Amino acid sequence: DTGVSQDPRHKITKRGQNVTFRCDPISEHNRLYWYRQTLGQGPEFLTYFQNEAQLEKSRLLSDRFSAERPKGSFSTLEIQRTEQGDSAMYLCASSLEYGEQFFGPGTRLTVL
């Protein structure tokens, strides 16, 4: 399968714990996006990378969130000191520059 993959698919954690999600984009895609989707809402943009450079971050991305894309391949999204409000689906998408975004299956985070 050469689509976008995300790991894990589901994560349950206790408030205050740190979590890390991984996204593997389509191999030739130089752009990678992270979105967050809460229940009953459409996805909202968090941040994006062009190759290894993080070029834009949403105001939704508080100081507890950090994202990396070392070597311009896979990306990780870490949330420190999780809060119940962080419970959401975290979606990753990749694209060529000016191309259509292809989404992964998402990571569903539940913070207890």
Partner 1 sequence: AQKITQTQPGMFVQEKEAVTLDCTYDTSDPSYGLFWYKQPSSGEMIFLIYQGSYDQQNATEGRYSLNFQKARKSANLVISASQLGDSAMYFCAMKEIQGAQKLVFGQGTRLTINP
Measured CA to CA, the distance from residue 45 to residue 47 in angstroms comes to 6
Q: Is 100 in the site for partner 1 (CB under 8 A)?
A: yes
Build a one-symbol-per-residue string for 39-78: x at contacts with partner 1 by CB under 8 A, - elsewhere. Answer: -xxxxxx--x------xx----------------------
Residues 6-35 that bind partner 1 (CB under 8 A): 31, 33, 35
Q: How far is C-alpha 81 from the chain's CA centre?
A: 17
Cα dihedral angle (5, 30, 78, 82), rounded to 10 degrees? -80
Provide the minimum distance between the beta carbon of 16 and partner 1 in the complex, in angstroms, as a whole number: 26
18: helix, coil or strand? coil
Measured CA to CA, the distance from residue 107 to residue 92 in angstroms comes to 9
Binding part of the chain for partner 1, among 12-20, 21-29, 76-84, 87-95 by CB under 8 A, reads: 87-95
Spatial contact of 2 and 104, defined as CB atoms under 8 Å apart: no
Query: Which is closer to partner 1, CB of 80 or CB of 108?
Result: 108
What residues line the site for partner 1 (CB under 8 A)? 31, 33, 35, 40-45, 48, 55-56, 89, 91, 93, 95, 98, 100-106, 108
